[in-house]
Amino acid sequence: MEGYNFAYLDEQTKRMIRRAILKAVAVPGHQVPFGSREMPLPYGWGTGGIQVTASILGADDTLKVIDQGADDTTNAVSIRRFFARTAGVRTTTHTAEATVIQTRHRVPETPLRQDQIIVYQVPQPEPLSRLEPSRVQTRIMHALGEYGLMHVKLYEDFARYGQVSISYDYPVMVNGRHLMAPSPIPAFDNPKLDRMPALQLFGAGREKRIYAVPPFTSVRSLDFDDHPFHAIRAPHACGLCGATDSYLDEVVADDRGRRLFVCSDTDHCAMRREAGHVGADSLPEAAE
């Protein structure tokens, strides 16, 4: 820890970020601007998430970092090690043991509890960005609650493809008031955000915005009355643990076109295998 302030950021910066977080919690789904700092990792790698985590981390916290559901990818490993070094906090890969979870692109399969905080890394906090290029205009639309444009996009998807073509970062209505980008999590994870017991914080470093969903807040995915939202999942069982209800990654298994579907949440998959669940593709391994 020597040579660093606790959790890397100086105390004034943490104070400024905490103020933004408090404001964000007070107005669920509203994007609060903050003075994003240079961090020792590139934009797009989680500069927003890492700043939020740094300002809420305490000495007795246990941190878990996931990237696309996995605990062992470069991004997850380096951010976890960063905080182990600069804050000296305990780290874990088990969802149930963590008090703070920083995530990129997934929500853990294990349901979160009230004493946990989940921090999302957000590349683009503005859900209307692809439809209305002017931030002045989108801010007016948020202020007046004019979200007809988002439904025009959904209408176009149904008219052209017969379904909504958004598979990740699927826009949600928070607390019946603010349209929010849930960060690029798969639409499959959207229902988990609704009335989640844990506090959800979203940090966008490059775009300099923080927003939040307080515990037990309604988060509704946009849809039409006659075409209700439904989560899309690959129609397979996990090849390693046999789970049929988790979100799956498709992995190329060899050079003969064999493909393997495995849980994207590595912790969830490992726990199931420990509990004795076996998938179709893990049999040869077990025989070795």
Catalytic residue annotation: 29, 238, 241, 263, 269
Cα 18 to Cα 219: distance, rounded to the nearest angstrom:
23
User: Among the candidate windows 52-60, 94-102, 142-150, 174-182, which touches other proteins by CB under 8 A?
Assistant: 142-150
Q: Which of 10, 72, 97, 156 binds other proteins (CB under 8 A)?
A: 156
Residue 121 CA from chain centroid, whole number: 6
Closer by beta carbon to other proteins, 4 or else 224 = 224
State in angstroms the smallest separation of the CB of 131 from other proteins.
9
132 or 249: CB nearest other proteins: 132
274 contacts other proteins (rule: CB under 8 A): no
Query: Are the CB atoms for 221 and 227 separated by under 8 Å?
Result: no
Residue 176: which residues within 8 A CB-CB, separation 6 or more? 218, 220
- List, in sequence order, the alpha helices (H) in the chain: 11-26, 47-56, 74-86, 135-144, 148-161, 190-193, 266-274, 283-287
158 makes contact with other proteins (CB under 8 A) = yes
Q: Is 155 in the site for other proteins (CB under 8 A)?
A: yes
Q: Report d(CA 175, CA 92) in Å as an integer.
A: 32
CB-CB contact of 215 with 114 (8 Å) = yes
Give the shortest CB-151-to-other proteins separation in angstroms: 4
Q: Of 3, 38, 115, 159, which lies in the binding site for other proteins, with binding defined by CB under 8 A?
A: 159
For every residue of 49-71, DSSP letters joined together read HHHHHHHH--TT-EEEEEETTBS
- Applying CB under 8 A, which of residues 3, 148, 235, 284 lies at the interface with other proteins? 148
* Rounded CA separation 265/270 (Å): 9
Per-residue x/- track, 211-230, other proteins (CB under 8 A): -------------xxxx---
Q: Is 160 in the site for other proteins (CB under 8 A)?
A: yes
Residues in the interface with other proteins (CB under 8 A) total: 15
Contacting positions for other proteins (CB under 8 A)? 144, 146, 148-149, 151-152, 155-156, 158-160, 224-227
